[in-house]
Structure 1
Amino acid sequence: MGLMDGSYSYADLVRKYDQFRVPVGRLKIDGKELGDGVGVESISASLSLEKASAVSFRVVGAYDRKSSGFRSSVKSTLKLGSTVSLSLGYGSSLTEVFQGYISGVGVDFSDDPVLEVTAMDVRGLMMEGTSRNEVHVVTTYSAAFQAVMERYKVLCTKLSVDATDADEITQIAQTTSDYEFVNSVLARRANREFFVLADTAYFREKGKVTAPIVTLDWGEGLMTFSRSSLYQNLKITVIGFDPENKEAVKAQVEEKADEAQKAVGAAHETVITDPDAQEEKKARKRAEKEALERKRRAQSGSLSCVGLPELVPGRFVAVKGLDPDLDLDYYIQEVRHELNGGGFSTTLEIGGWDG
């Protein structure tokens, strides 16, 4: 089982990690750990579904007071652009949760001199790139995605792609940055999620794995929980054109943020014209995708628990023991891991649930 398809019981994780007794974070720079005598004071990792994931850490013990300078071996290791991987866990049971590149290095002389390092995943590099003007001669959106990601294989060594329909296009023009093109054009048109986890870039059907990673009980695993919903009463209409029969196609989906809410007036209708919706099935898929995205934007919340590297964006987590209306599966939008002198904790930003 991997991070994107594994499911666990909380009791199994307690046993696996020996009661969560010895939290460990292992950083590697260009495939190597930092040298002896150099330590990492704290590690913060933010893993996101919708933006570049980032890791920051503080390096201590690298300053030589006799020579009044940081060790040359450390400075030569922590160079901008060096690759970074982070594995988290307990004892010898570690899981890689991040792979990227050093995007920033700073110093802090307020107390003992430390080096402050920030790393971002491949999406940071894709966002910084200038707009491109090129045409991808491909027959599927998934093939266009693979062509773009070929440029980043140093950071993203693996691709996990849910193939899209064959012969849906003959070519597609790119006039934006690689990130905007993949995230706002390819993923949107193909009804896919684009995100990165560790060394793998995903171009995946939305909410593909519905089984929750783990169930967290209030008072056992689940430390804090909050959520809120905004009123939403929508009607999403997608209109396309069937070139074979030379007629318009149409699909309509209604969506509420909360099924228990009372309707205040008529539903607000949004009409979307989609040139790719050449049959009712495609128009409906686009309407359902838009409705789901808007529902998730109207639902938000957070929860915290003991540090669990198994919790990743793009999966569901279940909670129990709160209230019958709250004991549901929640979609994970963002994960924040914190490892410092106070231990290892995980906080989730959630959005999207049924009930």
Structure 2
Amino acid sequence: MAKISMASLAAKYNDFMVPAMKVKAGGFDLIGASEYGVESVDLTLSQSAASAAVIKLTNVYDLEKRSFVSDISDFILGEMIEVEMGYGSSLTSLFYGYVDEINYELSENPSVRVTAVDVRRMMMGSKKSNISHQVKSYSEAFNEVIKVYNPVYKTKDVDPTDKLETDCIIQNGSDYDFIKEELCRKANRDFFVHAGKLYFKDISAELFYTVEMEWAKDFISFQRRASFQDAVIRIMGQDTDKKEEVEAEVKVKSDDKQKKLVKNETTEMDAAVEDNSDAKKIAEHKADEMKKQARQATGVCIGVPEIQPGGRVKIKKGDSKLIDGTYDIIEVKHSFSGDGYRTTFEVGGWKR
């Protein structure tokens, strides 16, 4: 995906002057047509966990009737809702999920708190043992697993994988773990969900914007942190046709300039690995996850819908050696309240 500057976003959103937000159900804006007020809407969007929307409603109680107002019945458990944020009439869909929890509070200021989550929460709750998937590829297995969740997502984007030597894959555990630990790891794929769309994509795919941000101009704060990581990942398997062992090795370092100590070696045998290419894919996938853990950063800026998990931010004019670079976004929090619209982002992994 292309790069986009904060200057071009300011032009798109009229200098970020009029923050706007909608909460929809069945295509209708629930907030605009209601009597209650919205104190805040907080979205936590993640690349590796279920995304969530927390909506706090006020002016929800009729003191004379001693009851909550009827309008709050717009929100019922299991209802699919969509949250859009942006400025003026230019809004972007950021979340799509089902109402998972409703909390009614009687206090000095009665309120209702609605929590919605995306399809991944449901996938994590499934429990399966020794399920046989009769498929010819990992991508076909992915499509088979997610078809039952069709009511909880909108669309999907799946990169096809190579044909397997076997026609059967065994699943043990939740659907989410099966996709992440079995299919993604062995097919070198990423799985994540954004605004109702499911992605099963090549790990190197660039799907979202890289937002360019300049220090003292485009963001409020930015913190980068690195932890020591010096490891070797070795994946081994067996080529049954040639009756010989196959293996691949990948090195992982937090920083090329770090001191050399003792390498932490990890060796794994994998029955599904039948050639060096399979072993390489699994090793690289593990290395990528380790780099994300060792290289992290946090940033805060004015609300920017284009900042999304799976995308990137490029920091400029901070410090050419220590700060400047391109960072992979793994989690984003979009907060909308009476104080305005703000975005906080977490990154894992970076490059100069």
Q: What TM-score results when the alignment is normalised by the length of structure 1?
A: 0.94
* 5+ residue gaps, structure 1: none
- What's the offset of the Cα at 1:6? 4.8
Q: Secondary structure at the match of 2:15?
A: helix
Q: 2:15 aligns with which of 19, 40, 61?
A: 19
Aligned position for 2:27: 31
Aligned position for 1:64: 62
Change (3 A) 1:42 1:52: same
Letter in 1 for 2:123: M
Q: Distance in 2 between matches of 1:132 and 1:62?
A: 45
Aligned position for 1:339: 336
1:205-220 mapped onto 2 (5 Å cutoff) = 205-209=202-206, 213-220=210-217
Q: How many pairs align?
A: 349
Q: Distance in 2 between matches of 1:133 and 1:251?
A: 29
Q: Secondary structure at the match of 1:125?
A: helix
Q: 2:142 aligns with which of 145, 151, 154?
A: 145
1:1-355 mapped onto 2 (5 Å cutoff) = 5-34=1-30, 35-75=33-73, 77-209=74-206, 213-264=210-261, 266-325=262-321, 326-355=323-352
- What's the offset of the Cα at 1:299? 1.4
Contact 2:208 2:308 in 1 (8 A): no
Q: Distance in 1 between matches of 2:6 and 2:101?
A: 37
- What's the offset of the Cα at 1:133? 4.5
Q: Secondary structure at the match of 1:352?
A: strand
Q: Distance in 1 between matches of 2:212 and 2:145?
A: 37
Letter in 2 for 1:72: S
Q: What TM-score results when the alignment is normalised by the length of structure 2?
A: 0.95
Q: Distance in 2 between matches of 1:20 and 1:188?
A: 41
Contact 2:189 2:200 in 1 (8 A): yes
Q: Distance in 2 between matches of 1:68 and 1:305?
A: 42
Letter in 1 for 2:120: R
Percent identity, please.
Answer: 37
Contact 1:31 1:83 in 2 (8 A): no
Q: Distance in 1 between matches of 2:108 and 2:12?
A: 38
Deviations 1:199-249 (A, max 9, x none): 101111124118852111011112111111111111111112222222111
Q: Distance in 2 between matches of 1:55 and 1:249?
A: 46
